[in-house]
Amino acid sequence: TTEGVPNAVLNLNTLEMAIKGVENVSVSDSQNVFIYPARRELILKKNRNFAFDGVIVAGLLAFSGEDFNFDYTNFSLQL
């Protein structure tokens, strides 16, 4: 991350945490599914869910966009 910039910021009103410096998230090594957040930032929400803009790579497919959401309980991505 950039020097002098915090790695994470917790919003006490929403209890969401903006995490910076995230190069990628490995969703499934065996299925070759990775998330590459735009600006290397994602928002951690309740129950380990998170939101992000960026690129999702799944095997030979790549999806680029904004307002993606990962639901940890259902282990699913909302595009």
Q: What is the pLDDT of residue 2?
A: 73
Instruction: Evaluate whether residue 1 is within a structural domain.
Output: no
Specify the pLDDT at position 4: 84
Cβ atoms of 31 and 50 closer than 8 Å: no
User: Which among 66, 64, 59, 75 has a CA at the least distance from the CA of 43?
Assistant: 66
Predicted local confidence at residue 1, as pLDDT: 63
Dihedral angle, C-alpha 20, 34, 36, 62, nearest 10 °? -160
- pLDDT recorded at residue 21: 93
pTM over the 0.75 mark: yes
Residue 3 lies in a domain: no
Residue 23, in any domain of the structure: yes
2 domain residue, yes or no:
no
Instruction: Decide if 41 is inside a domain.
Output: yes
- How does strand 16-20 pair with strand 8-11? antiparallel
What is the residue range of 65's domain?
A: 8-78
* Confidence band of 5 (pLDDT split at 50, 70, 90): confident
Q: Give the pLDDT confidence of 16-75 residue by residue, as tens digits.
A: 999 999 999 999 999 999 999 999 999 999 999 999 999 999 999 999 999 999 999 999
Count of domains for the chain:
1
Between CA 51 and CA 42 the distance in angstroms is: 6
